[in-house]
Amino acid sequence: MNLAHKIELRNDMSKEQITALKKSCGIYRFTYNYALSEYKRQLDAGFKPDIYQIKKYFNSIKKEQYPWVYECPKWANHQPFIDLKSAFTKFFKEGSGFPTLKKKGKKDSFYINQDHIKVSKNRIRLGILGWYNLTESLRFKGTLKYVTVSRTANKWFVSINVEIPDYKKQRISNKRIGIDVGLKHNFVTSGNEVIQCPQPLKQGLKKLRKLSKEHSRKTKGSENRKKSQMKLAKHHYKISCIRKDFINQLTTKLCEENQFIGVESLSIKSWYNMKTWRRKVSDLGLGEFFRQLQYKGEIYDCNIIYADNFYPSTQTCSRCKTRKIGNKKLQLWERVFICEECGLLIDRDLNASLNLLHLTYNNKDKYTESSSGINACGHKIRPDSNTSGIVAEAGKILSYGNIW
């Protein structure tokens, strides 16, 4: 398993050290833009571009035309070709956007391979750039693979990728849980717990608008504009830190306390495309939530069970399994689920989470039919003979009158 530990560099760096980092980011950006421009030129001329041929030509001329690239680690001008190749692979096979030119000050970063890095306690050696001090020691023990150096606002970070065989952590309990994800109630668990995201963007939007307005009024190229740009970047960084901290704590808590977790396979992109929901979906960080839930499930030996995109968790009664169809379907504005068969009265989100909990009790055959997810650990899911009784009893206890 490959794990990355992102560590901030201490702010006691000299001006020469900071300049060296900025130069390396600039060389990476220049090389990437050179390769992309040459690719477009060949494409417009009717040729079939080959990125590795472009790299070969660049290596043959860089000593004479661009000698300053040798002032920084060689991977700063080697890795851009590999990254551009990956970007075009995603464009042609996965339907992502066409690669664009990189801009100075936006996602500045560069890559260094394992042959040129060394970590010693709270220090790291970045090739010919020398030694830099870290704010904390490396958390993982294993084989160093590579390092990505990046800048956010006025802070520099190193993301150290380490290969660790059979890295596992012990769970503190073996419970099961179903989690319904939504915009009104962000996370509703089958244990009758409502978890609301802090929504840092919403909380800091007033200040963000003020800083953006001040920045737009500064003269381009002036020192005051650079200062206002840094203030704006720091505020964005603060918002992202609050969101990431919440998601990290939530996913860790879920995986270390549960052996089985039932969730929906949401199409977050379709949510994001809806104009009225776009800002809130971005503020919740749902994509990062599911990404962390997946890899932490492997670490804690936790089975993440994904319901199919069309699994009717909201339209199905968690007690008698009667499904609402046609005109009887629960609309988006209706917050209470009422079953006409058994008379169950329950909050719609709680009802959905109980249905997702029921998926965790299915045996392997039923699980394959009802869910499009995978068992994160590759283990068989053992059936439980008391499934229907447990879920039906939960439906009685957690009635709508007893919650919130």
pLDDT in tens, 346-367: 888 999 999 999 888 863 433 3
Per-residue pLDDT reduced to its tens digit, 364-403: 433 333 333 333 333 333 333 333 333 333 333 333 222 2
For the entire predicted model, the pTM comes to 0.82
Cα–Cα distance between 287 and 376 in angstroms, integer?
A: 17
Angle (deg, nearest 10), helices 205-216 and 223-257: 150
Residue 126's Cβ-side half-sphere holds a number of Cα atoms within 13 Å equal to 27
Cα–Cα distance between 100 and 98 in angstroms, integer?
A: 6
**Residue 179, C-beta contacts closer than 8 angstroms, at least 6 positions apart:** 187, 188, 189, 190, 254, 261, 262, 263, 353, 356
Give the chain's mean pLDDT. Answer: 85
* pLDDT for 340: 83
Cα distance between the two ends of the chain: 42
Cα–Cα distance between 223 and 229 in angstroms, integer?
A: 10
Q: Are 24 and 73 in contact (CB under 8 A)?
A: yes
pLDDT at 234 over 90: yes
**Amino acid occupying residue 193:** E
Residue 231 CB burial class (10 angstroms; 0-12, 13-18, ≥19): middle
pLDDT at 129 over 90: yes
The secondary structure of residue 382, as a DSSP letter, is P
Paired strand residues for 263: 306
Q: Are 33 and 40 in contact (CB under 8 A)?
A: no
Mean pLDDT value of segment 154-179: 92
* pLDDT for 395: 34
Cα–Cα distance between 333 and 316 in angstroms, integer?
A: 17
**Amino acid occupying residue 358:** H
Mean pLDDT value of segment 222-235: 94
**Closest by Cα among 352, 290, 285, 286 to 317:** 352
Residue 90's Cβ-side half-sphere holds a number of Cα atoms within 13 Å equal to 10
Element (H, E) at 7: strand 2-8
Cα–Cα distance between 63 and 76 in angstroms, integer?
A: 15
* pLDDT for 392: 33
